[in-house]
Amino acid sequence: MGPRSWTKSTGGLSEAVFLDSGGFIALLVKDDRNHGRAMAAYPRIKNRDKVTTSLVISETYTWLRYHIGFQSAVTFWERMLEDEVRGQISIFRPDRELEERALLLARRFADLPLSLTDAVSFAVIRENRIHAVFGFDRHFLLLGCQLLPLGAGA
């Protein structure tokens, strides 16, 4: 998998794992309450195709910047770009069409406190038939996704 900047569905990534900001933060921050579970689960997804969005990267960068510091945040961002070039992660960068589809999903799930990042993540997950999310937000269960680590969000 080479570097890609998808704005539309590529026809399905059903074996891929979507990486959410909660998963990234739990892996990177030893004090995070989910750090142990994230570290234990990561080897199971290490060799699977990994997908995220530029918005998730932004959300994670921002959290790291304000809670840990600039160096941790910028190191994370650089690592994501390097991993994309090496084909270790695919990063979706939303265009207007994807944002419009995400807006429809935000309206559909109006009773949930979804951020714009969450709505775009939902759209990417649904359109690419992704069934697993490395993260801790229970709202991904509504899409029929398995949360990894198992039992995450419980």
CATH number, domain containing residue 22: 3.40.50.1010
- Per-residue pLDDT reduced to its tens digit, 111-127: 998 999 999 999 999 99
For residue 153, being part of any structural domain is answered with: no
Percent of the chain clearing pLDDT 90 (strictly above): 80
Helix or strand or coil: residue 130? Answer: coil
Percent of the chain with pLDDT over 70: 88
Q: Please tell me the pTM assigned to this model.
A: 0.88
Segments forming the whole domain that contains residue 101? 5-148
Q: What is the mean pLDDT of residues 132-148?
A: 92
Q: Which of 26, 46, 14 is nearest to 136 (CA)?
A: 26
149 Cβ partners below 8 Å, 6+ apart? 34, 37, 38, 40, 41, 134
User: What strands, in cross-sheet order, belong to the sheet with 146-148?
Assistant: 5-6, 90-92, 50-53, 17-19, 132-134, 146-148
Backbone dihedral angles phi then psi of residue 135, each to the nearest 5 degrees: 180, -170
Residue 154 lies in a domain: no
- Residue 25 located in a structural domain: yes
**What confidence tens digit (pLDDT) does each residue in 64-94 have?**
999 999 999 999 999 999 999 999 999 999 9
Environment class of residue 2 by beta-carbon count within 10 Å: exposed (0-12), middle (13-18) or buried (19+)?
exposed
> What total number of domains does the chain contain?
1
Task: Report pLDDT for 53.
Answer: 98
How do residues 129-138 score in pLDDT, each as one tens digit?
Answer: 999 999 999 9
